[in-house]
């Protein structure tokens, strides 16, 4: 016997469910009827906000902000990818699907590396035919105020730094300080090192600590290095009660 293959396509002009009956009549064996059904969908992406405000984010620290993505249309919407204009702005999810009236919360984390105001853009790529690349503006300010748990690198580009509360280099973490960095300790804050500290200045480009109250190494179990470092009790040479040079 012979077979015949054919394709039936649905091209809806508006959302909704469609049914029809496909009939075939043979010259010998009579008629054949096949029920056909399909759905015309029109997904529509929406977000709870169009701008995410991260506020002040201290250097080496992070801030997280979240938004809700909804499908306000009909049918199932596919979010294929979520991209950012900065590698320091990352999302908790990058792809998922949303049924009609479905919603999903996505969180974004910004890591502050350079001091100053910043603005980045998040693009959400979806199957919405009218808004396939929905954009969210993200704004904030990276500040050189540090305190709490700190690790990573304090770079000269963001100097000076202001220690506004007790600072801890946690056990198993490393804090590196580049040559030329100036650190001003405020609010009688202490600096405690339980991990590793590399304060490596160079000749002609030292590292400066001002208003030093106390640096505690009692529980440090890793490497501590001070090269070409100047520690002052006051705001600078000749101010305060004393100084230490390494």
pLDDT band (50, 70, 90) for residue 239: very low
pLDDT band (50, 70, 90) for residue 238: very low
Neighbours of 59 (CB within 10 A): 23
Cα-flanking dihedrals φ and ψ of residue 158, to 5°? -105, 5
List, in sequence order, every residue forming a beta bridge with 24; answer none if it has no partner: 32
Q: Who contacts 187 (Cβ-Cβ below 8 Å, separation ≥6)?
A: 164, 165
Distances (CA, A) of 179 to 31, 183, 208: 88, 12, 9
pLDDT band (50, 70, 90) for residue 236: low
Q: How far apart are CA 192 and CA 87, in angstroms?
A: 31
pLDDT, position 164 = 92
Mean pLDDT of all residues in 111-120: 92
Cβ atoms of 100 and 76 closer than 8 Å:
yes
Is the link from the previous residue into 165 a cis peptide, with omega within 30 of 0?
no
Give 49-102 pLDDT, tens digit per residue.
Answer: 999 999 999 887 899 999 999 999 988 999 999 999 999 999 999 999 999 999
* Percent of the chain's residues with pLDDT above 90: 61
pLDDT, position 74 = 87
* Percent of the chain's residues with pLDDT above 70: 92
Closest by CA position to 209, among listed 166, 170, 243 = 243
Helix (H) or strand (E) holding 197: strand 196-200
pLDDT, position 88 = 94
Mean pLDDT of all residues in 35-59: 90
Q: How far apart are CA 204 and CA 193, in angstroms?
A: 26
Mean pLDDT of all residues in 27-32: 74
Cβ atoms of 212 and 185 closer than 8 Å:
yes
Mean pLDDT of all residues in 241-245: 52
Per-chain mean pLDDT for the chain: 88
Cβ atoms of 147 and 163 closer than 8 Å:
yes
Cα-flanking dihedrals φ and ψ of residue 209, to 5°? -115, 125
Look at 92-96, 119-123, 166-170 and tell me which has the smallest mean pLDDT.
166-170
pLDDT, position 128 = 95
Give 182-227 pLDDT, tens digit per residue.
Answer: 999 999 999 999 999 999 999 999 999 999 888 888 666 678 899 9
């Amino acid at each position: 016997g012979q077979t015949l293959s054919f394709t039936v396509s649905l091209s809806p002009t508006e959302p909704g469910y469609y049914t029809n009956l496909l009939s075939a009549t043979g010259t010998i064996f009579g008629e054949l009827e096949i029920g056909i059904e399909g759905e015309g969908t029109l997904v529509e992406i929406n977000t709870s906000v169009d701008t995410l405000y991260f506020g002040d984010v201290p250097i080496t620290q992070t801030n997280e902000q979240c938004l809700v993505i909804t499908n306000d249309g009909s049918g199932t919407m596919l979010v294929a990818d979520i991209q950012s204009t900065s590698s320091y702005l990352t999302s908790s999810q990058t792809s998922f699907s949303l049924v009609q009236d479905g919603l999903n919360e996505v969180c974004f984390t910004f890591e502050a590396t350079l001091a100053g105001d910043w603005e980045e853009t998040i693009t959400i790529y979806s199957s919405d035919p009218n808004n396939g690349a929905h954009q969210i503006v993200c704004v904030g300010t990276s500040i050189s105020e540090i305190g709490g748990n700190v690790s990573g690198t304090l770079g000269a580009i963001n100097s000076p730094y202001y220690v506004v509360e007790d600072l801890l280099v946690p056990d198993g973490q490393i804090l590196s300080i580049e040559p030329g960095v100036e650190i001003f300790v405020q609010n009688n804050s202490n600096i405690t090192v339980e991990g590793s500290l590399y304060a490596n200045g160079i000749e002609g480009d030292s590292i400066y600590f001002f208003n030093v109250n106390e640096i505690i190494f009692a529980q440090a179990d890793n490497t501590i290095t001070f090269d070409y470092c100047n520690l002052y009790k006051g705001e600078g040479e000749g101010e305060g009660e004393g100084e230490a040079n390494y």
